[in-house]
Amino acid sequence: MRAAITGGAGFLGSHLCELLLEKGWEVLCLDNLVTGSDSNIAHLLPHAKFRFARQDVSRYIEVPGPLDAVLHFASPASPPDYLKYPIQTLKVGALGTHNSLGLAMAKNARYLLASTSECYGDPQVSPQPESYWGHVNPVGPRGVYDESKRYAEAMTMAYHRYHGLDTHIVRIFNTYGPRMRLNDGRALPNFLYQALVGEPITVYGDGKQTRSFCYVSDLLAGIYKLLESNEHEPTNIGNPQEITILEFAERVRKLVGATTPIVFHPLPQDDPKQRCPDITKAKRILNWEPKVSLEEGLQRTYEYFREKLAQSTQAK
């Protein structure tokens, strides 16, 4: 079995490359390294079944030889990234999805789109089921990411309905674990980085907004089951254990043993007040639910961040 993974040098993409290699697949990793990092896949380069190609998937994709699956994970994903690269974000959601679907069509391959809980916007329903159409501001600053993914879902379903392509759509909720960038702008890496270096921990708004954090190995297990399934409609994969951002910041501070204060900044425009997946569907059709507790996942991630920070300090 051979797979092409766009965005394969990113946080999730690199873990996905690793998982498929462990399952015996050949893996072609495609990434232009705008937000991904070659350090995420350096340990995979010697693997006989792994190959990396630097590729902007917003441009035509040509892959010699057969493919059994195309998994489209290329996109900036953290708010600072997609606000820094708004046009590229829209292009990879539109043109990148079109090109990767075309590749799957040409190879008669299965296709999996990495979509997002941001399709639900600032939700008026919680937890969010797949049947909820969302509450998104299309012209706000976050719209470049939210709408690129909503469009990508529409195009993926069109290819399934019109061309009969075997497609799958995963709506990914907040995920964390090793290989996140130390300061990528999302809550966990921000909190851990600030606590480790002794900076005040930044909480936006009053901290009462909620998130649900899924450890990366749990997410990947759900994604692989979805790829192997007969389900074509969007499917939520995430951890339904809801926690306020303020409580999360306190947990990180306690874990690290930090004494730095928590400081409050204004809430960014259109920032979701609640984010919690309804995973009833994933339980029913995939027999999947998360297994790693927040305590265990935080500990693993903390150890990774502590080591990375020590390495970067030594390098200086």
50-78: average pLDDT: 97
Report pLDDT for 30. 98
More confident of the two residues 98 and 309: 98
Report pLDDT for 311. 82
CA distance 223 to 114: 9
Report pLDDT for 184. 80
Angle between helices 143-163 and 86-107 (to 10 degrees): 20
Report pLDDT for 183. 73
Q: Which residues contact 108 (CB under 8 A, 6 or more apart)?
A: none
Asked if the model's pLDDT at residue 314 lies above 80, the reply is no
The active-site residue out of 82, 85, 145, 193 is 145
pLDDT confidence band for 316 (50 / 70 / 90): low
pLDDT tens digits along 4-61: 999 999 999 999 999 999 999 999 999 999 999 999 999 999 999 999 999 999 999 9
pLDDT tens digits along 246-261: 999 999 999 999 998 9
* Bridge pairing between strands 210-212 and 242-244: antiparallel
CA distance 135 to 272: 10
Report pLDDT for 185. 81
- Show the domains of the chain with their CATH numbers: 2-176+214-237 (3.40.50.720), 187-210+241-275+292-315 (3.90.25.10)
Mean pLDDT of the chain: 96
274-294: average pLDDT: 97
The DSSP bridge partners found for residue 176 are 215
Report pLDDT for 315. 67
pLDDT tens digits along 107-132: 999 999 999 999 999 999 999 999 99
Q: Is 145 a catalytic residue?
A: yes
pLDDT tens digits along 227-241: 999 999 999 999 999
Q: Which residues contact 52 (CB under 8 A, 6 or more apart)?
A: 8, 9, 28, 29, 31, 38, 41, 44, 45
Handedness of CA 295, 22, 219, 311 (dihedral sign): positive
CA distance 164 to 157: 10
Asked if the model's pLDDT at residue 296 lies above 70, the reply is yes
E-strand spans in the chain?
Answer: 2-6, 26-31, 50-54, 69-72, 110-116, 167-172, 175-176, 201-204, 210-212, 214-215, 235-237, 242-244, 262-265
pLDDT tens digits along 191-208: 999 999 999 999 999 999
282-301: average pLDDT: 97
